[in-house]
């Protein structure tokens, strides 16, 4: 990979929709090499869609996503698969193979994408599990460990190939406070150790602000604010204030937009 391009991932004038329903509109985002960048916003704001566009699972309606200077949606299938080998993905619910042991889950990408000898695979898997504190749980099945441990196993699997880009989709969802803190520290420390670029999609303010170098806030498919965590903490932007302080009243409405209840019940003006 070339080190000339300062941003590992760049998004320019990105638009995406499902049919006529717009999901993302005019996004411009930079993800510099070696940094942890958080993409935050409420449910349905388009955060996970950004990850899917970066990974080439979706194609933009307009604009482009570039990774390592390559326009993702223009790549041929073989080239896209090569690019994906340089990405790690922590899925929202872990997505571990329930019939495989912890060891075999982490070994899976190494067996699938390399021709390494078994002894080296074993050593690499144990090193990855050691990095997340679960080397001694290698022979257990996913159902035999806690939810927080399962998330750490998924994290070990996502870094099995030492990716340059790691994407995290709601890594703190459903975790207890201790597990959340452990996971946040692992994300930051692994990013530093691997020299990776990390994209962290989440709505957990405290954990993200503790480890992120930069934050983008999405609302209704648009970037409404961006800056360092310190800048976001003192922001006077109404959306950021509502989100950071968990306020019920603000720019983000409680009800999905549409007709009023009175109209639905036939009680509107006659």
d(CA 191, CA 173): 20
Q: Residue for token digits 């209704």?
A: 220
d(CA 46, CA 49): 5
The answer on pLDDT for 93 being more than 80 is no
pLDDT in tens, 13-54: 999 998 888 889 999 999 999 999 999 887 777 888 999 999
Q: What is the pLDDT of residue 63?
A: 93
pLDDT in tens, 219-244: 888 898 899 999 988 888 777 777 77
The answer on pLDDT for 252 being more than 70 is no
Cβ neighbours, 10 Å, residue 26:
13
Share of the chain above pLDDT 70, in %: 92
Classified as helix, coil or strand, 139 is coil
**Phi, psi dihedrals of residue 141, rounded to the nearest 5°:** -90, 155
Rg over CA atoms, the chain: 20
pLDDT category of residue 1 using cuts at 50, 70 and 90: very low
Which strands make up the sheet holding 222-227, listed edge to edge?
87-90, 165-169, 197-202, 36-40, 214-219, 222-227
> Mean pLDDT for the chain?
86
d(CA 87, CA 165): 5
Q: Residue for token digits 């996503």?
A: 65
d(CA 105, CA 125): 9
- Kindly report which listed range (43-47, 186-190, 209-213) carries the lowest average pLDDT score: 43-47
The answer on pLDDT for 96 being more than 70 is yes
pTM of this prediction exceeds 0.95: no
CA-CA-CA-CA torsion sign (206, 212, 216, 218): negative
Q: What is the pLDDT of residue 132?
A: 85
Which strands make up the sheet holding 62-67, listed edge to edge?
21-32, 7-18, 62-67, 70-71
């Amino acid at each position: 990979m070339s080190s000339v391009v300062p941003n590992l991932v760049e998004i320019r004038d990105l638009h995406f929709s499902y049919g006529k329903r717009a999901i993302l509109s005019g996004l411009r985002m930079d993800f510099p090499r070696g940094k942890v960048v958080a993409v935050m916003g409420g449910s349905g704001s388009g955060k996970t869609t950004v990850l899917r566009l970066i990974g080439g699972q979706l194609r933009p309606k307009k604009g482009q996503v570039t990774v390592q200077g390559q326009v993702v949606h223009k790549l041929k299938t073989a080239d896209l698969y090569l690019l994906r080998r340089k990405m790690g993905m922590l899925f929202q619910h872990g997505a571990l193979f329930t019939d495989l042991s912890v060891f075999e889950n982490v070994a899976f990408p190494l067996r699938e994408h390399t021709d390494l000898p078994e002894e080296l695979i074993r050593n690499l898997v144990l090193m990855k599990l050691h990095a997340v504190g679960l080397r001694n749980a290698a022979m257990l099945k996913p159902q035999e460990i806690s939810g927080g441990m399962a998330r750490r196993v998924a994290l070990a699997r996502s870094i099995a190939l030492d990716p340059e880009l790691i994407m995290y989709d709601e890594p703190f969802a459903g975790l207890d406070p201790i597990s959340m803190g452990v996971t946040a520290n692992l994300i930051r420390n692994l990013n530093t150790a691997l020299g990776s670029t990390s994209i962290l999609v989440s709505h957990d303010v405290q954990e993200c602000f503790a480890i992120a170098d930069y934050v983008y806030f999405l609302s209704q498919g648009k970037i409404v604010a961006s800056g360092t965590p310190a800048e976001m903490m003192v922001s006077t932007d109404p959306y950021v204030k509502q989100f950071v302080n968990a306020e019920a009243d603000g720019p983000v409405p409680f009800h999905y937009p549409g007709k009023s209840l009175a109209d639905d019940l036939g009680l509107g003006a006659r």
